[in-house]
Amino acid sequence: MIQRIQSVFLALVTLLSLLLFTGSFLNFTEPTGSFIKIAFAGIMRQTAGLELLIIQPAYTYSALVLLIPLISLVTIFFYRNRKFQMLFVIALIIVILSLIIVSVVYYSLILETYGAPLKPGFMMLIPLCMLIFSALAYRSIKKDDEIVKSYDRLR
């Protein structure tokens, strides 16, 4: 049954993760007036003349951003096998936690190297929302599994 609530949660994770492809995830402002951004393409610096340069590619961040929608979409279509679905959601939670850890590492790297403070934005909340929706999906899958097991005991 693809219309279960965990499918909605996993679809929300997919949509939120697609937002990470579009814009900059973390924004920093340097004392010189230029901006540093962490985006899917890597760590970029935008100078006052609006010239955008890639300082460093962020391969780990890009790989994790690619894995999240892939795993969540695959998980939606494992609705007939709840054990695999729970396993994939656990893997999804681990990947999202890895994304959060990589983001903190990049944050500390930019803060240490460039001395640029973080400029808060709503994109920073996306991994946390994805983590919450993944946990809710896991809880819903587990609840469905317990319901099916209780029906099997009644037969």
- pLDDT at 1 (0 to 100): 46
Number of domains the chain is built from? 1
Domain-located, residue 103: yes
Range(s) of the domain holding residue 67? 5-23+58-113+121-154
The answer as to whether 38 is a domain residue is no
- CA-closest candidate to residue 89, choices 1, 2, 14: 14
Rounded to whole angstroms, the Cα distance separating 66 from 77 reads 18
Q: What share of the chain is helix, strand, coil (3-state, %, to 5)?
A: 65, 15, 20
Asked, for residue 78, whether it belongs to a domain, the answer is: yes
Tens of pLDDT, residue by residue over 69-86, are 999 999 998 888 889 999
Is residue 51 assigned to a domain?
no
For residue range 119-147, what is the model confidence (pLDDT) as tens digits? 888 888 999 999 999 999 999 999 988 88
The whole-model pTM stands at 0.89
